[in-house]
């Protein structure tokens, strides 16, 4: 089977985390013709995998800084519904998660900044060394796709790798005991409403 036979790509931005994207993945779940697809960078397909027969496997390949640091650790799959963010969802772990920092070279600066903000939050909650590296290399990390752009100084790439690995490690430490979010008083939820 070729990848084109089973892979459906959707935009990974917030407006697509809604009903229309679910319909694109899963036109009529009651018809018996549902063909769930996996797009390993978007919430809708992960939710569709959780909902379809309550257990369709998927592989996650995060391609953004937030995806690598935060979403790669989480088992929450949720979609917007109506005017509400993450209203419908489940807890459904991927079969595998593949982490490749090379995807960061393709991101627009705004996506790098979003991930940078998440790393600041994690490091202020749990890891001073990471915070210090973010402070030292901040502008260079943003302008070089987290050290992945052609010509990025080796020192910046090494700092980016250390930051990313530390961020993932801290998220694992903070989230693993509470993957189903039973305890809502979580350090890592700092700033959430």
The per-residue pLDDT of the chain, averaged, comes to 76
Using one digit for the tens of pLDDT, what is the confidence trace for 54-91? 777 888 888 889 888 887 888 888 777 777 777 778 88
Residue of 139 and 11 predicted with greater confidence: 139
Tokens of 96: 């595998």
112 and 39 together in one domain: no
Is the predicted pLDDT of residue 1 greater than 80, yes or no? no
Domain of 185, CATH number, reads 1.20.1090.10
Write the CB contacts of 38 (distance below 8 Å, at least 6 apart in sequence): 6, 7, 8, 45, 46, 49, 58, 59
1-20: burial string, b at 16+ Cβ within 10 Å, e else: eeeeeeebebebeeebbbee
Domain boundary among 97, 121, 144: 97
Active-site residue (options: 23, 76, 85, 121):
76
Residue of 43 and 127 predicted with greater confidence: 127
For residue 121, indicate whether it is catalytic. no
The overall longest dimension of the chain from CA atoms, in Å, is 56
Is the predicted pLDDT of residue 154 greater than 80, yes or no? yes
Domain boundary among 50, 69, 97: 97
91 and 142 together in one domain: no
Domain of 93, CATH number, reads 3.40.50.1970
Confidence class for position 150, pLDDT limits 50, 70, 90: very high
Confidence class for position 20, pLDDT limits 50, 70, 90: low
Cα distance between residue 70 and residue 170, in whole Å: 10
Highest mean pLDDT range out of 9-13, 37-41, 82-86, 98-102? Answer: 98-102
pLDDT on residue 130: 93
Domain boundary among 80, 97, 114: 97
Do 165 and 172 form a contact (C-beta atoms < 8 A)?
no
pLDDT on residue 34: 37
Q: How many CB atoms lie within 10 A of CB 154?
A: 8
Is the predicted pLDDT of residue 39 greater than 70, yes or no? no
**What is the residue range of 166's domain?**
104-189
pLDDT on residue 171: 86
pLDDT on residue 9: 54
Q: Once rounded to an integer, what is the mean pLDDT over residues 22-45? A: 47
Q: 77 pairs with which residues across the strands? A: 90
pLDDT on residue 51: 75
Residue of 36 and 155 predicted with greater confidence: 155
28 and 86 together in one domain: yes
Crossing angle for the helix pair 154-175 and 109-126, to the nearest 10 degrees: 60
20 and 79 together in one domain: yes
Tokens of 166: 């530390």
Write the CB contacts of 135 (distance below 8 Å, at least 6 apart in sequence): none
Residue of 90 and 191 predicted with greater confidence: 90
Using one digit for the tens of pLDDT, what is the confidence trace for 93-149? 888 889 999 999 999 998 899 888 889 988 888 889 999 999 999 999 999 999 999
* Number of domains present in the structure of the chain: 2
Do 125 and 188 form a contact (C-beta atoms < 8 A)?
yes
């Amino acid at each position: 089977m070729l990848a084109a036979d089973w892979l459906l790509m959707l935009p990974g931005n917030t407006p697509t985390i809604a009903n229309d994207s679910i319909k694109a993945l899963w036109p009529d779940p009651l018809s018996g013709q549902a063909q769930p697809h996996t797009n390993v960078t978007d919430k809708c397909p992960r939710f569709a995998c959780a909902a379809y027969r309550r257990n369709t496997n998927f592989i996650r390949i995060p391609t953004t800084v937030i995806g690598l640091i935060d979403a790669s650790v989480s088992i929450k799959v949720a979609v917007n519904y109506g005017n509400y963010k993450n209203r419908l969802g489940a807890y459904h772990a991927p079969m595998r998660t593949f982490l490749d920092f090379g995807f960061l070279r393709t991101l627009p600066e705004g996506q790098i900044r979003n991930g940078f903000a998440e790393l600041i939050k994690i490091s202020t909650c749990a890891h001073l060394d990471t915070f210090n590296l973010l402070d030292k290399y901040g502008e260079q990390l943003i302008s070089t796709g987290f050290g992945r752009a052609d010509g990025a100084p080796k020192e910046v790439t090494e700092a980016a790798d250390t930051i990313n690995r530390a961020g993932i490690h801290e998220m694992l430490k903070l989230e693993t005991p509470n993957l189903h979010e039973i305890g809502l008083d979580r350090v890592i939820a700092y700033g959430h409403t």
